[in-house]
Structure 1
Amino acid sequence: MGPKKHEDLELAYGAGHINPGYNSTTLRSVTGDNSSCNNTELGRAWDLDYPSFSLAVEDGKPIIGVFTRTVTNVGSANSTYTAYITTPAMCTVEVEPSTLSFSTIGGREPSK
């Protein structure tokens, strides 16, 4: 998808956040209540807990990034998930741990 082929759909994919920073006013417009936002520091795009990743790249510099995620088992109890990664030959990706096993639905901690 690209702006030359789908001008009207350019923002119709992904999470859609161009600037995910909120203050109390914008937060209240989203939540519809009296929520407040005391920390308005801009974060890094890769700290957003989306299923995709974002990494700033500078010409001539090594590209290294560490992404941390908290996972929740939305499958059945006693589920096991194994990372499957496909990358270009010039990239190396490591997933730790590469396999997660859960004993409960909604579990956040992998069973040991």
Structure 2
Amino acid sequence: MRLNRHSGLALLLIFFGALILLNKFGFHTGHVMSYVFPVAIAGLGWLGIKNGRSVIGWILLVFGGLLLLGKLSGLIAIAVAIGFICYGVTLLKNKSGGAY
């Protein structure tokens, strides 16, 4: 098989198609399928921007990013909580008594 510039897209489409079929036949792929649509929308937006269709590309990229942000909100909340804890610990360890 010779790889050209369309091979990556073809392999990606085959992978997503296989995931969809596995999910429909009862082999649950976890939460992977819920992330496919937002990532695909954002990817199509990126391709649109890259190919000169900047208006629709940006619209799709922002829409896909917002959908993905909604899916990742739990992980983002955990990261923010860890950041608060680390910042609080550094404030307690600071000899000056505060960040000001």
TM-score (norm 1): 0.26
Structure in which a larger fraction of residues adopt helix: 2
Report the TM-score when normalising by structure 2: 0.28
Of Structure 1 and Structure 2, the greater strand share is in: 1
